[in-house]
Amino acid sequence: MAELLTGFPTGNIEKYAPLMQSQMPKAASLLFKTIDPLVCSSLIELLGSSSHFRKKMGMITPRQDPDGGEQNFEIRLVYSVPDFIGFNGGEVPIKTDQKYILDKLQKVSSVEWKNTSVRILPSDGSVTVMFSLPISGSR
């Protein structure tokens, strides 16, 4: 099996990675060298080790503003965290962990982060990070 450029075994991010790196190096760098590592380091800080989670899926959906304006990529990164499966300690610890990850990501000012950008689902142990990555000015 070929080594993954992004580390995400499912989704279409592997298909987009080479194109982004050659055509939109700033956007690629922001995604692969800033945002993904920030999520991973947050998870390491929360869980104590990188062995407690793995990258699961990366999806990229190109979008254009209906007015013909700004182009961006809608990005969804999913990480699998078995330690979170079946957690039933209430919503407060989940919301605290979501906020912890989001607070780290909000330091990346070139991305608009929403309060719903980070979601932890104890039902399947997934951590999902969703955001829009602007394409304009990313060359």
Q: Where are the alpha helices (DSSP H) in 32-90?
A: 36-47
pLDDT digits (tens, 9 = 90+) for 94-108: 999 999 999 999 999
Cα distance between residue 78 and residue 69, in whole Å: 29
pLDDT digits (tens, 9 = 90+) for 119-139: 999 999 999 999 999 886 544
Q: Which domains does the chain have, with CATH numbers?
A: 10-134 (3.30.565)
Q: Please state the pTM of the whole predicted model.
A: 0.92
pLDDT digits (tens, 9 = 90+) for 49-77: 999 999 999 999 998 877 777 788 999 99
